[in-house]
Structures are given as structure tokens and as C-alpha cells.
Chain A
Amino acid sequence: MRVPILKQGNYLIASIQSALSDEDLLQLRDDLGTQVGRFRSRGAIVDVTVLDVVDSFAVRTLRTIAHMLRLRGAETVIVGLQPEVAFSMVQLGLTLGEVATALDLEEGLSYLDRGIKRVNSHG
């Protein structure tokens, strides 16, 4: 199932609705890549609240998305990781590296807002 991507001001919100196949993940990566360019977004939020399994491929894809979007000028935040998922990820040694995470959509948005303020005050 294709992941809907919503535009919200300067940000894109990819709200995952159901378990994803590997193809769906790659589709999400490509969609975000194009849409960030089209809307000139400054940030993207991937909401994984519904996922109760996050495997190594998903983690790698999320990392790729974050690196890719950074090169296109947007910050990525993963939000809504469930406690069980977070715990099994660290047990399996799956890390998101430098990718930002937040508790939920609201937190993710405020994280991006702060980031933009930082950039603006510096520039």
C-alpha cells in the first residue's frame, strides 16, 4: 500500500497506515525525494506509529531517506516508534544513527520548528 504524503506548510508528513512491504518502502523513499523538491520543503516527518515490526531493511531505508533529504535541504524526523519496537531494535543492533526521532507527530513538528529557527537565527 502506497504511503500518503501530506504537505503541511514547510513540511511533508508521510503517515504510514499499515505494515509495509520492501517495495512500499522504496516507493516511499522515491516519493519523498521528488515531493521535497516539488514543494521546496524544509522538513519531513515519517510517522511509524502503526508499525509493530521494523526490520533491518526498513531501518536502512529510513536512514537512506534521511540522508537523501538532507542533501535536498530537508531535515527528517521519525516519529511514533513503539516502546516494543524501540527495544527490539536496540537489541538487534539496528540503529537510526544520526536520524532524529520524536515521540509523536506533534513533537516531530516542534522539533522541526526549532531547527528552522536555529537555522534562521544563524543565517
Chain B
Amino acid sequence: MPRRTPPRRRVTVPQPESPESTAALLRELVAHLRQNRTQLREEWARRITESQLLTAMTREEIFVEATSVYDNYVAVLETGSVEALQAYARDLSERIIPRGVETHEVLGIVLLLRDVLARSLFAKYQADFALLNRVLDAYEPAANRIANTVGVGFVQERERIIRQQQEAIRELSTPVLQVRERLLILPIIGVIDAQRARQLTEQLLRGIRANRAKVVVIDITGVPSVDATVANHLVQTVDASRLMGANVIVTGLSSEIAQTLVTIGVDLGKINAVGDLQGGIEEAERLLGYKVTVVEATSSMQG
């Protein structure tokens, strides 16, 4: 079959695959979307409310955001460049994540917009099936790319926030405090994982050297649960401190934790445990030879 080379045709009667025809269709499409902006945007906002998405936001806010998203959307269809949209998606995510907007909601609204616009295209081109087909060929990849960009932007922003918070938690970590000459306390609050346990131990050992500590009180009142791993970390910390010449007293073991430790059979024989922080500090003072007495008991308190 001889290969026919088609003469260059006018843009208005394009070949399905040729890029300039796609571009022309997109131009036409953009013009259509601009023309029906108000109506389509309202339709979209209505569908959002109907599907109970973005419930954390008011109707007005939804409408304002919908307008910006709509304009950005059309702009991407027109220029084919997603950079502005990426920036907008980041900015949008930054604003709505703190308000508790979920990933499924963001993806949901973008997909809704895609559907609303597709419907309007159906309505416009339903008379000419072949043309409708070509319009959708041009529209769908661009629309999917937009949905993708917004979704990815949202998730990336979330991950960035999570990373930031993890960093903050690490920073907050645990202070090593000197309460008396040669006596340190280490109040641990929150969940201990392997990384944190390691950091705690290193911090404590440095603290022992820096303060020339002889006794350390580790208070774990604020640790919600202790399992075998955490218990072993504790034992390691105690052993390492002892190698540095410091005695360790562990306080704040609740009855549940004590029971757990006995049940899982952690060897706590080497750990010097005292009920609460006060008792631990008193025991430490005894070890260090301090004697705390009350002077002139109440005269200053009564005044």
C-alpha cells in the first residue's frame, strides 16, 4: 500500500496525533472553560459540598480556594507548564494541612473538578463524537497531570511537616540536670525508641564526665510503656554509667511497668530502683553523704 503523504491541512481540521492539533484543541478548550468559568466553578463548589469534602472549611473559603484552583487549572491547560500550579499546591497545602484537611479530600476535589469539566465537554461536543474523542485525548493527559501534581504537592508538604516535627521532638529530647554537686537527674518523658535511647545514653555519659557526677537518678515516670527493648536500653545505660564510675538509681517504675518487666524476665538485678523521684534523690543524697535538715521550720512560711 503506497504511503500517502497528507498535505498540510488547516489547524481546524487536525490529525488526532499531531501536536499542533492537540495544542489547538487545548486552546479551544481553554476558551470554553474561561467562558463558562462562573457556572462551572459554582457547579464544582456545589459538588464539593455535596460530597462532604473539605468539611473543615467554610463555604466561602471553599469558594475562594475553588476559584484559585480553577484559574490555575485552566492556566496549566493553556501553558502546559505545571510550575505555577506546583507552587500554588504547596502554598495551599501549607494553609490547609494545619486545619486537618486529609489527603483523600484534596485528591477528591481535584478529581471532582476534572469530572465537572469533562462533563461540560461532553455537553458541548456531544453532537460530534469524533471531535469529542479528540478533545478528550487532549484534555485527559493534562487533567491527570494536574491531579498528580496537586496530590504529590500535598503529600510532599505533609512529609515535610512530619520531618520537621520529628526534628523538633529530637531537639526537645532529654535534659541532663545537675541538682547537687556530683548528682545528676535525667527525667525521661515520652516513648523511647532505639535511636532515642542511644542519644540519651550518650548525653548522660557526657554529662557524667562534664559534671564529674557520682550518682545519677533516671526518672521514667513519663515513659508510657516499657518493653524488653527499652528495658535492655535501660540496663545498658546503667552499665555504661557504672563503667564511668557513676551509680545509677532508677525511679518512677509504675506497678504496671514493674509487672511487665518481671513477666518478660528482664534481668533488673543490677538496677537500683526507688519508687519515686523524691525517694531517688534522697537515696542519692545519702550515697553522696548529704544530709538535708529543716532549719527554723515554719517562721518564714507563715509570714
A and B associate in one complex: yes
B residues 111-130 near A (Cβ < 8 Å) are none
Q: Which residues of B contact A85 (CB under 8 A)?
A: 243
Selected from A78, A87, A108, the residue in CB contact (under 8 A) with B205 is: A87
- Report the number of A-B residue pairs with Cβ-Cβ less than 8 Å: 57
User: Is residue B36 contacting chain A, with contact meaning CB distance below 8 A?
Assistant: no
B206's closest neighbor in chain A, by CB?
A: A83
User: Is residue B134 contacting chain A, with contact meaning CB distance below 8 A?
Assistant: no
Q: Which residues of A contact B259 (CB under 8 A)?
A: none
Interface size on A, residues (CB 8 A): 21
Shortest distance in angstroms between A108's beta carbon and chain B's nearest beta carbon?
Answer: 8
- A91 CA to B206 CA in the complex, in Å? 17
Chain A 95-119 interface mask (CB, 8 Å, partner B; 1/0): 1100001111001100100000000
Interface size on B, residues (CB 8 A): 19
Given contacts A87-B240, A90-B236, A91-B236, contact A103 B202 (CB under 8 A): no
- 21 residue pairs bridging A and B, Cβ less than 8 Å apart: A81-B243, A81-B245, A82-B209, A83-B209, A84-B202, A84-B205, A85-B243, A86-B241, A86-B244, A87-B240, A89-B239, A90-B240, A95-B239, A101-B244, A101-B245, A103-B208, A103-B212, A103-B213, A107-B212, A107-B245, A108-B245
Besides A82-B209, A83-B206, A83-B208, 11 other CB < 8 A contacts?
A81-B244, A83-B209, A86-B205, A87-B205, A89-B239, A90-B237, A102-B245, A103-B214, A104-B212, A107-B212, A111-B245
